[in-house]
Structure formats: structure tokens, C-alpha cells
Amino acid sequence: MKNQNNLYEYEEALEDRGYKYVAGVDEVGRGPLAGPVVVAAVILPMGLRIKGINDSKKLSEKKREELYKQIMKEALAVSVAYVYEDEIDKINIYEATKKGMLEAVDKLQIKPEHVLIDAMPLPELKIEHTSIIHGDALSASIGAASIIAKVTRDHFMEKMDHKYPNYGFKKHKGYCTKEHLEALEKYGPCEIHRKSFAPVAKFYQKQLSFDLFSEEN
């Protein structure tokens, strides 16, 4: 992992080439069994240094919340895109993530001159861009987007915990934990579960088999 100074290497190289508005883009929520994938795009002022920015998964919840507030206050532009479970089931998680990234960039109030993307190739993007493997730990802009996306999605899943209290969404945020699987077995899926994801899909396959059996008889 790069040190804090090197997190700005990509941004500094672009600044040296005359770029002023560089956006970082990252997603959170490709793996969960429930809830949306959330994508954030962030444009930080050139020369701004925010101590502690990193891949959101490597930060404590408290630190993410602190950095979220600082990024929202000091960034030139921030946008967030949600792609919900019904769309994920329709087009698959990979395409849903791409859709969210394109939407997040498009929603920025300032049009970026270059976009730094965490890992995902995005040939559909009509703006000059660079995809960086493990970009959330290598670029401050992508790291900032990772934090915004993570905190935004966590807050959403905490709200869903109040709406669907049987599943423990506040604790595991929809990921495939033992607690979540046990709740699925006990209560079956709810409206925000992804029907196309294997641990959830079996419940719908059972229902389909039952419906077909009922029709035949």
C-alpha cells in the first residue's frame, strides 16, 4: 500500500499536464445478497491533502464517518448513484456497477477532465479516464469516492434494518454472513434481496417448483 503522499501521485501527474478537475470513482456493494450497489464520484481540489484517506474497507466505522464529513465539506463536487436489486437481477451485478459508475460521473456538478476508476474498465465513458487496480488504496480521489460510497450504503442498509428487522442488516449490511443466511432460512427473502444471487435464488426456485407442481395438479 502506498503512503499518504503517494496517494496523490496520479492526481499530481494529471495536474502537471494541466488538468484541474479529476474525479475518482468507486463502488460499494457488489457482493451482498441484499440492497443496492452504490457508486460515488468525487472531485477533490488540486493540492488538497486529507489525512487518513484510504480504501474504505481498511478504515474503522468512526474514521469513515469523520472522513465522509470532511470530504463532503471540502470536495469540489460529489455525486452518488444507486442501482437497486431489481436492476441488478435484470442486468447482472457487473453491468449494474458499470451503469452506476456512468451515472455517478454524469451527475457531477462539475464535468471532470479525467476520471480515475477503481479497477473497472469503462469503455462507455466518453471522458478521458484511467482504470487502476486496487485504486481505492492508490489514489486519494478513488479512496475518497470509496468512503462516500461505503458510508452512504451503510446508512441506507441501517434504514432497511428498521423496515426489515428480522435480517440483521444494520450489522452485516446485506453481506453473506452466517447470521444473514440463518435469517434467510427462517424468514425467506424480503423485497430488497437480490433474487439472482445464489443463496437467495434457491428460495425462488423452490417457489417456482411449487407453483409448477400446483398447476399440474
- Structural contact between residues 85 and 119, judged by C-beta atoms closer than 8 angstroms: no
What's the gap between Cα 207 and its chain centre? Answer: 31
Domains of the chain: 5-163 (3.30.420.10)
For the stretch 25-73, pLDDT in tens is 999 999 999 999 999 999 999 999 999 998 788 899 999 999 999 999 9
pLDDT for the residue 1: 40
The set of cell numbers assigned to 68 is 465522509
CA distance 121 to 107: 19
Q: What is the pTM of this model?
A: 0.92
Phi-psi region of 123 (alpha: psi -120 to 50; beta: other; left: phi over 0): alpha
pLDDT for the residue 205: 76
Sheet holding 129-132, edge to edge: 77-83, 37-43, 22-28, 114-118, 129-132
Q: Strands 77-83, 37-43: parallel, antiparallel or unpaired by DSSP?
A: antiparallel
